[in-house]
Structure 1
Amino acid sequence: VPAYFNDAQRQATKDAGQIAGLEVLRIINEPTAAALAYGLEKDDGKTIAVYDLGGGTFDISVLEIGDGVFEVKSTNGDTFLGGEDFDSTIVEYLADEFHKKENMDLRTDKLALQRLKEA
């Protein structure tokens, strides 16, 4: 599940799995699942950070891996930080810079703004 899920959302996910006829043993965060997959073949002791920077979210887990043991040290997520947020910030910056240099606000032209987003 996403790292930002609260206890009620985790329980609802578990319940949905059971309704579907699955035996749900444990609910884990997405970046933790990725870290587990990464560490399956690793024997050496390491501390790793695995993050998921999605379209609208950012999730991260920090794990210690060693001797076949995976210990989640920390996990968290932010539902208001992701790829879309970076895209919007870059578009705003570029529109501001263009306005300073050309004295034209691209935000008033929907087609120009869309082209800037796609670039």
Structure 2
Amino acid sequence: MSFQNNVKGSFHRAKEDIKKLQEDFMGLKQGQQMVAKILEDIQKDFKNFRVVTPKPVVTERVVVKTVKSPTAKKTYIAAKEGKKFHEKNCPYAKNIQPKNSVKFNTKDSALNKGYKACRCV
């Protein structure tokens, strides 16, 4: 009889395990249905969602163009025995004695005479 009792007990435990598995399965199925419903709601909301891009801001800028007016002609000075020519207001030009100076009205004329430009030019 103990063999029969063992078999009955085993079947009884197997039946309980099957019922437990069915309950777990139903719980999982309900959870899956809830997740599917939430996902469906999110998809509906997403379809209704619109991205609103802001309109570009247009700003007006005032552009002031400056036009160089013709400036007074520059005078260039070089020492007769020197190698460089300078602008009239250059500190080096102020050190040149008037009797030893050569005056030029253009850079080109000073360059043509063989003088090199000072960094003030």
TM band (smaller chain): under 0.3
- Greater gyration radius: 2
In the superposition, the TM-score normalised over structure 2's length comes to 0.25
Q: TM-score, normalised by structure 1?
A: 0.26
Q: Which is strand-richer, 1 or 2? A: 1
